[in-house]
Structure 1
Amino acid sequence: MYRSVVIKVGTNVLTRPDGRLDVTNISHLVDQIAALKRAGVSLVLVSSGAVGAGRELLTVGEEFGDVARRQVLSAIGQVRLMELYRQLFAGHQLLCAQVLATKGDFRDELHADNMLNCFRALLHDQIVPVVNENDVVSVTELMFTDNDELAGLAARMLEVDALIILSSVDGLYDGPPDASESRLIREVAAADESVHSFVQEAKTSFGRGGMATKLRIAGETAREGIPVLLGNGRAPNILEALLTKEWPGTRVS
């Protein structure tokens, strides 16, 4: 069983097709995370969804540029998203703590040390650290590719047993995921460059990244000795597999 993990949950797991928060699925994920906590797993949750949460509260006019629109939606949505997490985790007698980061926080040695010390203090039995990119101040060189990159950096900083990346597909396929002839690739070696030929260019509806980004981050993380598990965050009870190591998606190691 993995004793320490970073779990990254993508936008398309947390939102409905119209971009609004999928409270039912978020609640199911929180139930599973609480079960891991009860089993003694130390974990950090990297959560997308702030922009989607903001989108359901406010319509930002076209007079704003794309960056400003994202900043406004994220600033409003973070409050909504964290309040939802607070309520759902409270139902399990757990507290959630918000951690906002930029790429610069990992590049600067002092900032990185401060963040690591903060994480160590937060990894308490009753606390679930919820991490997201600080979209309000993250522009250009301070931006992560997406939260997959943030999750990979956090996993390597904390030296966890595994990084879990949940999206709306089961893992890496040898063809288009929705094609009947495509097969799920269960094991991938971090050094195997041939698997990149299977990656589809298209991204899912609201996420910033795609499978190419996930595979790149997974390879970088696995080469540091941390296996990466790619899976479908909408599959029932997928996180229970962490207690048995029988992962239903793709494992990169």
Structure 2
Amino acid sequence: MDPTRAFVKNVKRVVFKVGTAVVTRNDGRLAVGRVGAIFEQLQALNSQGYEIILVTSGAVGAGRQRLKYRRLLNSSFADLQKPQVEIDGKACAAVGQNGLMALYDSLFSQLDITSSQLLVTDNDFKNPDFRTQLSQTVNSLLALRSIPIFNENDAISTRRAPYEDSTGIFWDNDSLAALLALELKADLLVLLSDERVFTKWSSK
């Protein structure tokens, strides 16, 4: 982010959203090098005094890849000849979220950054007390120079399945990022939706 640009002149609080295509490779595995490059830039911004809030996708895709691999290892040859049932998306989210945050915590720790995890659902934002507490918690974390990491809690969401229900207060991580930018009074929202967008942004 070039601080000489007029539109970032008075920016302090920034919400970054990283999409599934940015944090995972084509085979579903986590793109460790790409995520590490993003985090190095977030660390640089954090050290310059910017308040960084991160919204991440990728849990469902990463979880599905891991569960398919485990199912393959535990299947007999006869099992593999049968039609394969699609793995439940909420189970994928639960497994993938665990791996995603483990990677994020490890990478941020290498950069001497403390990160924090906040999982939310659409129903949470219908509660005024939740919204007040959310703002207070995030403000406390940012004051400690910690980077809050948000994701929709797909594993327990009341949606039919991740990404299938486009109703509600938010319906994907792009709309969640926009909602958080409003709720948390961010000065700037940056959406890194795919690898090409990330490459263009990171070269600036």
TM range (shorter): 0.7 to 0.9
Correspondence for 1:73 among 83, 92, 96: 92
Determine if the alignment matches structure 1 residue 62 to structure 2 residue 81.
no
Closer, same or farther in 2 for the Cα pair 1:83/1:90, shift >3 Å?
same
Determine if the alignment matches structure 1 residue 82 to structure 2 residue 101.
yes
Q: Which residue of 1 aligns with 2:47?
A: 38
Identical aligned residues as a percent: 37
Cα deviation, residue 106, structure 1: 1.5
Q: Which residue of 1 aligns with 2:199?
A: 234
Q: Distance in 1 between matches of 2:42 and 2:126?
A: 29
Q: Which residue of 1 aligns with 2:177?
A: 151
Q: Which residue of 1 aligns with 2:153?
A: 134
Larger proportion of helix: 2
Determine if the alignment matches structure 1 residue 99 to structure 2 residue 125.
no
SS for the counterpart of 1:126 is coil
Correspondence for 1:160 among 183, 186, 193: 186
* Contact 2:13–2:187 (Cα < 8 Å) also in 1: yes
Q: Deviations for 1:125-183, whole angstroms, at most 9, x for unmatched residues?
A: 4311000000011133668321011101100011111111111276xxxxxxxxxxxxx
Question: Aligned AA for 2:189?
Answer: L
Task: Give the structure-1-normalised TM-score.
Answer: 0.64
Cα deviation, residue 124, structure 1: 3.0
Between stretches 97-106 and 53-62, larger displacement belongs to: 53-62
Cα deviation, residue 110, structure 1: 1.2
Q: Distance in 2 between matches of 1:63 and 1:236?
A: 35
Cα deviation, residue 4, structure 1: 0.8
User: How much is the aligned-residue C-alpha RMSD, in angstroms?
Assistant: 2.0
Q: Which residue of 2 aligns with 1:7?
A: 16
Unaligned 5+ runs, structure 1 = 171-231, 242-253
Q: Displaced runs of 4+ in structure 1, greater than 3 A?
A: 141-144
Task: Give the structure-2-normalised TM-score.
Answer: 0.78
Closer, same or farther in 2 for the Cα pair 1:73/1:169, shift >3 Å?
closer
Unaligned 5+ runs, structure 2 = 1-8, 72-83, 160-166
SS for the counterpart of 1:234 is helix
Between stretches 116-125 and 43-52, larger displacement belongs to: 116-125
Closer, same or farther in 2 for the Cα pair 1:113/1:236, shift >3 Å?
closer
Cα deviation, residue 236, structure 1: 6.2
The count of corresponding residues between Structure 1 and Structure 2 is 174
